[in-house]
Chain A
């Protein structure tokens, strides 16, 4: 009888402990971040300006303390105005001020891994996003626009930290760095590469 009682106590303790760690925050969270992005590679040849016009937003579901899956989207606007220059093409020469823009809207599934317990004051994590991105290429020759819109495969590894506002707070500060790659080819862009830094908030929802 005593033995059973002990077993029950141990059992109850385990369940309680698990409940505390797993339910320190509700498993579902939303996050919204402000982003800046630096173009790399051939994207730099097209538009060599850091983009300060961007955001990301996502939904995440914690499968346990460490592992999560999610869905996210975002927006980044690359823009550079190039002073008047003559662009030769095979048929003629065009003198123009070029305003080179690219708007990127990714939609990705994510899988994430947190390196510490949910109760730690800083939670570093790594994340991988895989999905597609809408590439909206608009190159203005003077006031005349040359447009191209297409969907591309996009993969985005990410590392970051979550800092809870208090031990079991459902609200966390988030900062992350992400690398974006898409095999996107159009005119001077031979592939899409950018490094993106974001800060924002993450809310665990009841």
Chain B
């Protein structure tokens, strides 16, 4: 009986060793590029051929360091982001105009460092203090707001992200402007300047409907 127990013990130990070494860890051999995901959403009601012009923010709103309020920044990364998104939209047939020229579309850019908290996320949750308010876009008075349609995906996040929001300034619904397109990048290296072009490219590639050319 003692021998039996001894043998069983050995078998159990062997099993434990095999068990722990058997699991292939997906994160172990993952490159930064492989770690990233690009999520795009759009308003299914929007007619993307009906817009002609767009304007883009002159800097990027940054939520970081545990603060609820964003600060505007214009780093090398931010400049690259503005230029890459502008180029893509122009390739899709939209004309860049200044924000005073009443653009059809407003492009807001945001970086979010949410690694300090565990917050239940809705698209646009970053649309708080310090975010691009409609006043920036020439709609003063404080009554105006942004609106993300409710079918936008809800993700639980705890990392660094970058968001691109495109709003329809032409057809406000009441006092709200609808987000007609949104891209969100998550994963390792989303704040690296060298990755901006490929991430912008991927986001537009998977959004073929976002075009004025039909």
- Taking Cβ atoms with an 8 Å cutoff, the residues of A that contact B are 28, 30, 32, 53-55, 57, 73, 75, 77, 79, 81, 84, 86, 89-97, 99, 101, 103, 138, 140-144, 203, 205-206
Contact = CB atoms under 8 A, between A and B. Distances in A.
A31 to B, nearest CB: 9
Nearest to A103: B23
Contacts of A144: 37, 186-187
Q: Which of A54, A75, A99, A142 has the most CB of B within 10 A?
A: A142
Q: Which of B35, B151, B207 has the most CB of A within 10 A?
A: B35
Contact of A97 (B15, B18, B34, B153): B34
Contacts of A97: 30, 33-35
Nearest to B188: A143
B94 to A, nearest CB: 20
Nearest to A99: B26
Contacts of A94: 37-39
15 contacts: A55-B22, A75-B22, A77-B24, A79-B26, A86-B206, A91-B153, A92-B42, A95-B203, A96-B36, A99-B30, A101-B24, A101-B26, A142-B186, A143-B35, A205-B3
A55 to B, nearest CB: 5
A32 B187 CA distance: 41
Q: Which of B3, B4, B188 has the most CB of A within 10 A?
A: B4
Contacts of B137: none
A125 to B, nearest CB: 20
Interface stretch (B6-14, B45-53, B73-81, B125-133): B6-14
Shortest beta-carbon contacts, A-B, top 5: A99-B26, A92-B41, A143-B35, A142-B37, A95-B38
A88 to B, nearest CB: 9
B211 interface: no
Contacts of B38: 94-96
Nearest to A138: B26
Contacts of B40: 92-93, 95
Nearest to B32: A143
B37 A141 contact: yes
Interface string B105-126: 0000000000000000000000
Q: Which of A73, A86, A91, A138 has the most CB of B within 10 A?
A: A91
A203 B7 contact: yes
Contacts of A57: 11, 15
Contacts of B3: 205-206
Q: Which of A84, A95, A141 has the most CB of B within 10 A?
A: A95
B144 interface: no
A203 to B, nearest CB: 7
Given A54-B22, A92-B152, A94-B39, A205 B4 contact: yes
A95 B208 CA distance: 14
Contacts of A55: 15, 18-19, 22
B202 interface: yes
A140 B206 CA distance: 20
Given A92-B42, A95-B202, A141-B37, 13 more contacts: A53-B22, A53-B23, A55-B19, A75-B18, A77-B24, A90-B151, A91-B41, A91-B153, A92-B153, A95-B39, A96-B38, A103-B23, A205-B3
